[in-house]
Amino acid sequence: MSIQAIEDTKVKAFPTPAKPAEVIAFTARVRRRFDPGAIAGKLASTLVPPAIVIIVMLVIWQIACSSPNASLPAPSQVWNEAYDLIAHPFFDYGPQDIGLAWRVLISLQRVAIGFGLAAIVGVALGALVGQSIWAMRGLDPVFQILRTVPPLAWLPLSLAAFRDSSPSAIFVIFITSIWPVIINTAVGVRNIPEDYRNVSRILRLNQLEFFVKIMVPAAAPYIFTGLRIGIGLSWLAIVAAEMLTGGVGIGFFIWDAWNSSRLPDIIVALAYIGVTGFCLDRLVAAVGAFVTRSTTAK
């Protein structure tokens, strides 16, 4: 192979184009905000696996309970006998005969009051325990013992103290959900960096200013962890409390259904409780993530 010599005439020192180059505006590919394909794919990947698991469980359950002398109802039986409850969550046929969604809402109202009180008192007590070494030494052992008492164990005492079922139920929710709020808030307050305290001392912030401007925002991630555990516990307690105090909540509905042997109704109610509890947990988590979005990033 030999390299051909380039003819002189073909070589130009500075090749000049015959016409000026056309300027093509650089258009960045606009990323579409709404991409149906990607969203559908994401939805499928999150929804399909649990759907398969639920179908498999239903099939196993159907097979296991399909014999005539089975003690529990099969899914098909639940669907047939409790169809009204499943299809019409908001029916209202009188004071004691209302849809499950109404019952859940009534229970949620109780939880809102009980848990709301627990959140306020819990954060205040937690701040005290976290701030003062003596409050911690005195109160922490008491809290550690009381928090292990099961919700139902408080019920007779609160019935005796309040002489009415409604405040008793709220008290049981309160006393069940307050402990994680106190303990997590205390840990959060104890972990406030010394520098933040020094800043507040140099500025001579008073107790209230320190609480509002430094302590609560600094401890917010811990506080929300406590609130999230607390709301889960309070939803556990509502069912137990309503079983004994009566009324029209979802907990009492289960007790009532058991007394009149409507097992399919109980199963539908369980599903309602589970879904509601899940939503509550996610709601508190979402609020926490929103509120602490700037605190967690250092």
Interface contacts to other proteins, rule CB under 8 A = 193, 195-196, 198-199, 201-205, 209, 213-214, 217-218, 220, 294-295, 297-298
Residue closer to other proteins, measured from CB, 217 or 232: 217
The least distance separating other proteins from the CB of residue 198, rounded to whole angstroms, comes to: 6
Residue closer to other proteins, measured from CB, 190 or 213: 213
The least distance separating other proteins from the CB of residue 120, rounded to whole angstroms, comes to: 21
244, 241, 282: which is closest to 111 by C-alpha?
241
Under 8 Å between Cβ of 173 and 280 = no
Burial class (CB in 10 A: 0-12, 13-18, 19+), 264: buried
Q: Which residue has tokens 């848990």?
A: 115
Residue closer to other proteins, measured from CB, 181 or 214: 214
Under 8 Å between Cβ of 135 and 129 = yes
Cβ neighbors of 78 (< 8 A, separation 6 or more) are 264, 267, 268
- What is the rounded CA–CA span in Å between residue 283 and residue 277? 10
Residue closer to other proteins, measured from CB, 164 or 209: 209
The least distance separating other proteins from the CB of residue 212, rounded to whole angstroms, comes to: 11
Residue closer to other proteins, measured from CB, 38 or 199: 199
Residue type, 174: F
Alpha helices by DSSP H, listed for 132-262, are 133-146, 151-162, 165-190, 194-202, 207-209, 216-245, 250-259
For 163: left if phi > 0, alpha if psi spans -120 to 50, otherwise beta; the answer is left
Under 8 Å between Cβ of 236 and 151 = yes
- What is the rounded CA–CA span in Å between residue 163 and residue 157? 10
In DSSP terms, 98 is beta-bridged to: 92
The least distance separating other proteins from the CB of residue 173, rounded to whole angstroms, comes to: 30
Residue closer to other proteins, measured from CB, 161 or 212: 212
Q: With residue 61 as reference, give the H or E element that holds it.
A: helix 36-64
Residue closer to other proteins, measured from CB, 203 or 270: 203
